C-alpha cells in the first residue's frame, strides 16, 4: 500500500448540499491529485496540488474547489452538489526521485451519489 | 493533438493472442508518459513511466515503446492470458514542476479462455 486513505468511501447526499472528500497520505509525497471516473471517460483530472497551498485546476474543475493546508491532506469540496457530480472519485499521489517524477499511487476511491 | 487519446476503446481477444494498444499525446511540453493497469473494483496500478524518445520498457509479457517526437506510445501484450483482462490507461505529464498528469480514456481488454 502507498499509504493513501480516502474518506468517506461511500456517500449519498442531496442536491444542493456541500460535500467534502478527504485524501490523506502518509508518504510525504509532493504531488496530490483528484480525479473522477465516469463510464467512457477514464480518469478526468479535477484539481491537483504540487505543494502546500499550491493547487491548480484540471480538466473538469467547475463546481469543485480544493485545499491543501498540510502535506498529508488534500480536500475536495463540492460547494453545492449536483446530480452530474455523481461519480467515483480517486485521489492519487506522486513524488520526485532525483530528476524524475514517479508513477502515481491511487487511493481506493470514493463513490458519491447525489440524489 | 490537444488531449491524450487511446485506441481502440475496447478489445476482445482469445487466450494466447498477442495484442497492442495506442496512446497519442501532445508532443509539445512533453515530460513523461505513464501506463497503468486497472482491474475492475480495484485502483489503477502503474506499469511503466517513460521519458526518453525511443524508450522501451518490459515487464513480463507486457512491453511499451515511446515516440516523443510524433507523440505516441504503444503497449504490447504477448500471449494474452485471462488475467490480463483489465483497462489499460496511459497518462501524459507535461511538466516536472507541477506534476500535472492527464489520462486517456483507456483501452478495455477482455481475454477469453
DSSP per position, B39-70 = -TTS--EEEEEE-STT-EEEETTEEEEEETTT
The yes-or-no verdict on residue A2 having pLDDT over 90 is no
Residue A49 has which C-alpha cell?
Answer: 496540488
Chain A residue with Cα closest to B107 = A42
Q: Is residue B103 classed exposed, middle or buried when 0-12, 13-18 and 19+ CB atoms within 10 A define those classes? A: buried
Nearest to B24 by CA among B76, B90, B100, B112: B90
* Chain B residues lying within 8 Å of A42, measured CB to CB: 6, 87, 89, 103-106
Q: Does A21 contact B at CB distance below 8 Å?
A: no
* Chain B residues lying within 8 Å of A35, measured CB to CB: 103
* Chain A residues lying within 8 Å of B7, measured CB to CB: none
Nearest to A102 among B49, B102, B105 (CB): B49
Instruction: Give A19-62 pLDDT, tens digit per residue.
Output: 999 999 999 999 999 999 998 888 999 999 999 999 999 999 99
Q: Which residue has the higher pLDDT, B82 or B2?
A: B82
Q: How confident is the model at residue B29 (pLDDT cuts 50, 70, 90)?
A: confident
Range B10-36 average pLDDT:
94
Q: What distances in angstroms separate CA B53 from CA A98, B28, B96, one per listed residue?
A: 19, 13, 17
- Asked whether the beta carbons of residue A31 and residue B99 sit closer than 8 angstroms, the reply is yes
The yes-or-no verdict on residue B2 having pLDDT over 70 is no
What pLDDT is recorded for position A40?
Answer: 84
What lies within 8 Å, CB to CB, of B106 at 6+ separation is: A42, B6, B9, B38, B87, B88, B89
DSSP three-state, residue A107: coil
Which residues 35-94 on chain A approach chain B with CB closer than 8 angstroms?
35, 40-45, 48, 50, 56, 58-59, 90, 92, 94
Q: Which residue has the higher pLDDT, A60 or B3?
A: A60
Percent pLDDT > 90 in chain B is 83
What pLDDT is recorded for position B8?
Answer: 96
- Asked whether the beta carbons of residue B44 and residue A43 sit closer than 8 angstroms, the reply is yes
Mean pLDDT for chain B? 93
What pLDDT is recorded for position A92?
Answer: 97
Nearest to B18 by CA among B74, B57, B73: B74
- Asked whether the beta carbons of residue B96 and residue A96 sit closer than 8 angstroms, the reply is yes
Give the closest-approach CA distance of B53 to chain A in angstroms.
15
Range B55-65 average pLDDT:
96
DSSP three-state, residue B83: helix
The yes-or-no verdict on residue B98 having pLDDT over 90 is no
Phi, psi of B66 (to 5 degrees): -140, 130
- Asked whether the beta carbons of residue A35 and residue B104 sit closer than 8 angstroms, the reply is no
CA distance B29 to B51: 12
- Asked whether the beta carbons of residue A42 and residue B103 sit closer than 8 angstroms, the reply is yes
The yes-or-no verdict on residue A1 having pLDDT over 80 is no
Instruction: Give A49-106 pLDDT, tens digit per residue.
Output: 999 999 999 999 999 999 999 999 999 999 999 999 999 999 999 988 777 788 999 9
Note the maximum CA span of chain B.
45
Amino acid at each position: 500500500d502507498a499509504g493513501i486513505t480516502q474518506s468517506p468511501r461511500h456517500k449519498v447526499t442531496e442536491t444542493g448540499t456541500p460535500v467534502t472528500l478527504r485524501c490523506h497520505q502518509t508518504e510525504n509525497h509532493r504531488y496530490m491529485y483528484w480525479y473522477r471516473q465516469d463510464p467512457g471517460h477514464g480518469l478526468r483530472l479535477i484539481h491537483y496540488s504540487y505543494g502546500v497551498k499550491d493547487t491548480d485546476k484540471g480538466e473538469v474543475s467547475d463546481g469543485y474547489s480544493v485545499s491543501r493546508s498540510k502535506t498529508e491532506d488534500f480536500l475536495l469540496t463540492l460547494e453545492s452538489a449536483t446530480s452530474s457530480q455523481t461519480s467515483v472519485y480517486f485521489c492519487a499521489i506522486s513524488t520526485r526521485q532525483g530528476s524524475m517524477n514517479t508513477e502515481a499511487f491511487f487511493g481506493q476511491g470514493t463513490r458519491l451519489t447525489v440524489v | 493533438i490537444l488531449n491524450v487519446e487511446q485506441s481502440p476503446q475496447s478489445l476482445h481477444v482469445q487466450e494466447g493472442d498477442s495484442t497492442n494498444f495506442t496512446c497519442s499525446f501532445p508532443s509539445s511540453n512533453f515530460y513523461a508518459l505513464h501506463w497503468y493497469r486497472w482491474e475492475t473494483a480495484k485502483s489503477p496500478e502503474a506499469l511503466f513511466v517513460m521519458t526518453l524518445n525511443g524508450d522501451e520498457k518490459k515487464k513480463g509479457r507486457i512491453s511499451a515503446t515511446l515516440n516523443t517526437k510524433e507523440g505516441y506510445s504503444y503497449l504490447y501484450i504477448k500471449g494474452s492470458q485471462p488475467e490480463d483482462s483489465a483497462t489499460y490507461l496511459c497518462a501524459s505529464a507535461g511538466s516536472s514542476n507541477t506534476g500535472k498528469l492527464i489520462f486517456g480514456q483507456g483501452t478495455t481488454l477482455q481475454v477469453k479462455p
